[in-house]
Amino acid sequence: MKRVSLFVLICILLPAGLFAQAPAAAANGKVAVIDMQRAIVENVEGKKAQEQFVAEVTKRQGDFDKKQKAMDDAQTKLRTQDKALSDTAKADLAKTIDQLTTEMNRMNEDAQKDLGTMQQELLRPIAERTQRVLEAYASETGLAVVLDSSAQTSPIVYMNPVADITTEIIRRVDAEGSKPAAAAPAPAAPKKP
């Protein structure tokens, strides 16, 4: 019985000891928080990428809305003119509704796939650069841990705004983006025998 009690006591005290160390680490500047999504989309390039993405979403939504209106009109016609239409006209209208439904489903599936790919292509380089800037900043400032507050399963329950480095990372990504790219070194001349 004493073994079980000791084990239970250790299990209770261990988390308390860990939590007691966490504020000390934060006070020493070893822990910071970043909203990575915000850091990626609120810098200059991220805003441009978002605008481009939203423009494509808006265009596709307009195309989808036109198909939806055509289908709604066909359904309304079928419903309201049911008695006036011949059996052939009803069958043609039902076939048109089925075709429009299929086209809309395909449009939706294609849009999800294409827009997901587009978003990845637009934001991946920005995310990679943001990650590099974050790593350099963490190294420069001696951070041991940087937590992402935008993660869906974020372990952050409370955050002092002083610990949030998002704005500084956005500023640095923008500063890095405004620098001209370094020229690649010239290839070495071949050695003569």
Tell me which long-range contacts 14-18 makes (C-beta under 8 A, separation of at least 24).
Answer: none
Q: Would you list the domain boundaries of the chain?
A: 30-175
- Give per-10-residue mean pLDDT for the chain (193 aa): 39 38 48 92 95 95 94 90 88 92 94 94 95 91 87 74 88 84 48 47
> Taking Cα atoms as reference points, which of 176, 147, 143 lies closest to residue 29?
143
Tell me which long-range contacts 189-192 makes (C-beta under 8 A, separation of at least 24).
Answer: none
Q: What's the pLDDT score for residue 27? A: 45
Q: What's the pLDDT score for residue 8? A: 37
Q: What's the pLDDT score for residue 28? A: 56
> Taking Cα atoms as reference points, which of 66, 63, 47 lies closest to residue 170?
47
Confirm if 8 and 145 have CB atoms less than 8 A apart.
no
Q: What's the pLDDT score for residue 17? A: 39
Taking the whole predicted model, whether its pTM rises above 0.85 is answered as no
Q: What's the pLDDT score for residue 130? A: 94
